[in-house]
Amino acid sequence: MKVAEIIESLLSNPLVYRLHAAGVDRPKLAAIRKLCSDYSGLKVLDLGCGPGNTAHIFSGADYTGVDINERYISVARKKHPGLNFIVGDVNRVEWGAGFDIILINSLLHHLDDNEASKILRKAVAVLKETGKVIIQEPMLPGKEEWSYRLMMRLDRGNYFRSLPDWKYLLEKAGLSAGEISFYHLRVFGFKNYHMVSMLLERGRQG
């Protein structure tokens, strides 16, 4: 079994995933809060929500989380009994409609351009006219970033993208960037992921 396959197997366990995520969730949460500090009263959709590690920041919101991993959702439901969680492939289950906020957190680098585009177009379709999409994704590393490239090879996602690649996908789906920022995730003291944080709104569809 390859190292990447072993990691895939380990991270499919909710406890292992939560231990892994504990080291990287803080900067992700900070980036999400920076884009919107108060979600109370808003209708929120969290795609690829995992075991609910970020759900607590949506306290007071009408929240729905979707993830394909049944064990992740079981943990999320126990941890956040007042929130709605759905098991299923995000491209195949019904999400609902009229969302103020749609969060896509480290999901799209697991999907090829065709599948990612389907999600983005579907997000536009169920978003309120004044709604926002928040995307947090790892960037394609530079050749000199050896620790980042190592993590990319071990990551379960196979579709790391550059910023121009992201902008192309977003514009094709009918989204425009209102705010873009960058931050690093550190594992064992090394900068292992260069992340892009994007606040998006409806734009002209390409």
Q: From CA 147, how far away is CA 162, in angstroms rounded?
A: 17
Q: Would you say how long the chain is, in residues? A: 206
Full-model pTM: 0.82
Q: From CA 25, how far away is CA 4, in angstroms rounded?
A: 21
pLDDT value of position 16: 52
DSSP 139: B
pLDDT value of position 143: 60
Just give the CATH number of 3-202. Answer: 3.40.50.150
Q: What share of the chain is helix, strand, coil (3-state, %, to 5)?
A: 40, 30, 30
Residues of the chain with pLDDT under 70: 1-24, 141-157, 186-192, 204-206
